[in-house]
């Protein structure tokens, strides 16, 4: 049996749809992220899962039992869920220990058991030495750890996180996303995580749900999502990419100002007349001289932009006789001068075919 199921879930505000026909099933212990830009419906979906909003269509089930429908919503406190908010929402007038113990006290556990469980979870999040401090005496990362400890200590059936790292600086976000995954691997709580940051979703998730305009675009594991996007939106939102649109003619794919052999493309026998490819910048080789061996997809061009970003160089290459601009990333020691002539080597096996743009 699935742990959590969203069945045809929808939410409209007046005549404006925010979430449309969302179907999603989570297994016990699975970590799933809802990823998308602002206004895509991910937080509205999370709030319906938590019981803060009633759906206007569909239903939510946990362990096969109805949690939400158009006619009935089980109260948030009766769902067996914990939620961590963007603002942490820890009590400013309580110490770290008191904050973590609060949910256990509401459940009327014995004092000795509360003390034991609070101490254990504070050890897990490395906060026992700060047990008697107040939130105002803690850093943002420490406050986030308190929020995590308070949510996990009550052993919820489902853990919900609403952009919990958005208030932290870049280095701390990187540390905390790994910490969240470590805690998940230790406790195996079924988790739904909302974020607009693809790096957070990639690091933490077993599966990622990419949402756009209230609908699910694709649900997949991080590797499949990145390497085999099913829509143009997913290809462009998950990492950076180049879109090359062309037409298949006489065994060649004709792009803007250049053409390549169609027979080398993935699933070449089934290429339609109009095609579009998503090609990641780091999958493209950048050569100073024409490649000696034949085969593959090779295009001559000129460097029109470049930027040094420490860990890599980013180049923009315009193929000869074309208006296209192809972005390429290389090793930091691989240096090409502006306006220099180069050859692009594209790997057909790593060119993911996506739907052609509307009107093309």
Tell me: the pLDDT tens digits for 35-73? 999 999 999 999 999 999 999 999 999 999 999 999 999
Residue 360: band (very low, low, confident or very high) from pLDDT cuts 50, 70, 90: low
Please report the pLDDT score of residue 168 as a whole number: 84
Lowest mean pLDDT among 76-80, 151-155, 289-293: 289-293
For residue 295, pLDDT over 80 is answered with: no
State the Cα–Cα distance between residues 343 and 92, nearest whole angstrom. Answer: 60
Tell me: the pLDDT tens digits for 228-249? 999 999 999 999 999 999 999 9
Check residues 166 and 245 and name the one with the higher pLDDT. 245
Residue 347: band (very low, low, confident or very high) from pLDDT cuts 50, 70, 90: very high
- 207-238: burial string, b at 16+ Cβ within 10 Å, e else: bbbbbbebbbbbbbebeebbebbbebbbbebb
Mean pLDDT score, 297-313: 97
For the chain, what are the domain ranges?
A: 4-232, 240-353
Residue 170: band (very low, low, confident or very high) from pLDDT cuts 50, 70, 90: confident
* Rounded percentage of the chain residues whose pLDDT exceeds 90: 88
Which residues on adjacent β-strands are paired with residue 84? 161
pTM metric for this prediction: 0.92
Residue written as tokens 């943002």?
Answer: 140
Other Cβ atoms less than 10 A from the Cβ of 241: the count is: 22
Judging by beta carbons within 10 Å of its beta carbon (0-12, 13-18, 19+), is residue 104 exposed, middle or buried?
buried
Specify the DSSP class assigned to residue 29: T
Fold assignment, 240-353: OB fold (Dihydrolipoamide Acetyltransferase, E2P) (2.40.50)
First to last CA, the chain: 44
Give domain 4-232's CATH superfamily: P-loop containing nucleotide triphosphate hydrolases (3.40.50.300)
Tell me: the pLDDT tens digits for 6-17? 999 999 999 999
Mean pLDDT of the chain, nearest integer:
94
**Any idea what the Cα angle at residue 100 is, between residues 95 and 102, rounded to 5°?**
90
Lowest mean pLDDT among 88-92, 161-165, 224-228, 350-354: 88-92
Tell me: the pLDDT tens digits for 95-111? 999 999 999 998 999 99
State the Cα–Cα distance between residues 26 and 215, nearest whole angstrom. Answer: 17
């Amino acid at each position: 049996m699935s742990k959590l199921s969203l069945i045809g879930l929808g939410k409209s505000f007046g005549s404006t749809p925010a979430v449309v026909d969302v179907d999603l099933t989570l297994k016990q212990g699975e970590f799933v992220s809802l990823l998308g830009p602002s206004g895509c419906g991910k937080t509205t979906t999370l709030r319906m899962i938590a019981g803060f909003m009633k759906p206007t269509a569909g239903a939510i089930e946990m362990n096969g039992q109805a949690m939400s429908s158009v006619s009935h919503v089980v109260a948030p406190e009766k769902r067996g869920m914990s939620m961590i908010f963007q603002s942490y929402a820890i009590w400013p007038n309580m110490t770290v220990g008191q904050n973590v113990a609060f949910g256990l006290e509401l459940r009327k556990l014995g004092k000795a058991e509360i003390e034991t469980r609070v101490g254990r979870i504070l050890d897990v999040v490395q906060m026992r030495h700060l047990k008697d401090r107040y939130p105002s005496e803690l850093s943002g990362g420490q406050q986030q750890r308190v929020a995590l400890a308070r949510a996990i200590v009550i052993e919820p059936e489902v853990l919900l996180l609403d952009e919990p790292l958005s208030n932290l600086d870049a280095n701390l976000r990187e540390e905390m996303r790994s910490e969240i995954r470590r805690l998940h691997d230790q406790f195996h709580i079924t988790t739904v995580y909302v974020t607009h940051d693809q790096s957070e979703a990639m690091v933490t998730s077993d599966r990622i749900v990419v949402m756009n305009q209230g609908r699910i675009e694709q649900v997949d594991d991080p590797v499949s999502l990145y390497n085999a996007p099913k829509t143009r939106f997913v290809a462009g939102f998950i990492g950076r990419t180049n879109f090359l649109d062309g037409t298949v003619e006489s065994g060649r794919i004709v792009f803007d100002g250049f053409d390549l052999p169609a027979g080398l493309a993935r699933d070449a026998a089934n290429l339609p007349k109009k095609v579009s490819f998503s090609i990641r910048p780091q999958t493209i080789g950048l050569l100073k001289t024409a490649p000696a061996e034949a085969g593959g997809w090779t295009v001559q061009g000129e460097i029109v932009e470049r930027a040094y970003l420490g860990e890599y160089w980013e180049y923009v290459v315009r193929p000869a006789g074309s208006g296209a601009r192809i972005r390429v990333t290389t090793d930091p020691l691989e240096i090409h001068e502006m306006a220099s002539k180069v050859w692009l080597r594209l790997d057909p096996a790593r060119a993911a075919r996506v739907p052609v743009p509307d009107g093309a």
